Amino acid sequence: MPIKVLIVDDSFVMRKLLSDILSSDGIEVAGIAKSGSEAIKKISQIKPDVITLDLVMPGWDGLTTLKHIMEEYPTPVIILSAHSREGADITIKCLEAGAVSFILKPSGELSLDIEKVAPELLKAVRSASTVDMAKISALFAPPGRPVKYKAVETGRIIVIGASTGGPQTLVAILSSLPPHFSPPIIIVQHMPSIEFTQSLAAHLKRVCKLMVKVAEDNEIIARKKIYLVPGGYSMALQATDQRNKAKVVMRLVKDSPDALTPSINATMRSIAEIYNGNAIGVVLTGMGSDGAEGMEAIKNSGGKTLVQDESSLIFGMPQAVIDRGCADSVLPAGKIAEGIVELVSSVY
């Protein structure tokens, strides 16, 4: 059975271009809608497997439409977002409201060159069609009490890699960490540009009791901080003095436009080299295998590794780590914060 897609976009040109891309790969365009209210009617009729949703439309905008979809007909939704700070802010809100993922339009709202992101769009649609909507609902359960934690200065560092479904899962994890949690945390979340990382950091600040910021080049890593590697860059750590691990700086390198960015493997490998057995690696939901090599490096250096179980929206990245035999623990999203705290507090 072909995947059935509903395209929601007020532009005739964009609907036609998107239809051509999807149809060329054997995906069925089961319907089109010019507005959010029309989309709701079409969903009940055609029962699509996946919906592509424009953000800027007359009447209901994309976020309002998404909220109606999640309330009335929960369906995997892929957001089509413009490359701007405003577009990034709304996109993160859409992920918070239940969207599976997003595709960045190459040239703004009317992207006649949408073909440039055709491979990314096709991959996202096929991946979204496998998502169990119950997993998305589970991510938005109210956070529980913060995990109990007795501060122990063990020199640990945590690095978390995530892709599709990562922003929602990060909220569930970080909101459960205690306010006095001291080891630094580095988050490598696949994002297309720094604007999206900045919007994600602002969102995480609202739900997390720790300081959250976007990492800067040559910045020294400090305790009690959470750093997000900016989209469009990859990051490696460098010890300015091998005998003094307090002097570790973050080096950012601009990625090529077609790279999967930021690279989870690159950051994890550098952390394994500097921190050895004090590194704790975590891989969350996402397509592909980025992070598998990095987790292997952490494990081989004496560190510990955790991966999200099949509560993942997309189990590809965690599965790749498990297949390499590099996962010390496999935990649901709701237990990962507890797993991290236990490892930080233990001697291994």
157-345 fold: Rossmann fold (3.40.50)
pLDDT in tens, 296-331: 999 999 999 999 999 999 999 999 999 999 999 999
Q: Which residues of 312-345 are buried (b: 16+ CB within 10 A; e: fewer)?
A: bbbbbbbbbbbeeebbbbbbebbbbbbbbbebbe
Helix axes of 166-174 and 333-345: crossing angle, nearest 10 degrees:
50
163 is catalytic: yes
Phi/psi zone of residue 87: left (φ > 0), alpha (ψ -120 to 50 degrees), beta? alpha
3-state helix, strand, coil in the chain (%, to 5): 40, 20, 40
Please report, rounded to a whole number, the percentage of residues in the chain having pLDDT higher than 90.
Answer: 77
Average pLDDT for the chain: 91
Catalytic hit among 49, 101, 176, 190? 190
Q: What is the pLDDT of residues 6-21, one digit of tens each?
A: 999 999 999 999 999 9
Cβ distance 282 to 161 under 8 Å?
Answer: yes
Q: What is the pLDDT of residue 336?
A: 95
Kindly name the residue from 101, 111, 163, 263 that is annotated as catalytic: 163
Could you read off the pLDDT of 112-127 as tens digits, one per residue? 889 999 999 999 999 9
CATH 3.40.50.2300 in the chain: give the residue spans: 4-131
Architecture of domain 4-131: 3-Layer(aba) Sandwich (3.40)
Task: Name the DSSP class of 277.
Answer: G
| pLDDT tens sequence across 208-250 | 889 999 999 999 999 999 999 999 999 999 887 656 555 899 9
Confidence of residue 46 (pLDDT cuts 50, 70, 90): very high
Distance of alpha carbon 92 from the chain centroid? 10
Q: Is 68 a catalytic residue?
A: no
* Catalytic-role residue among 9, 54, 290, 328: 290
Distance of alpha carbon 56 from alpha carbon 104, whole angstroms:
13
In the chain, where does the domain assigned CATH 3.40.50.180 lie? 157-345
pTM over 0.85: yes
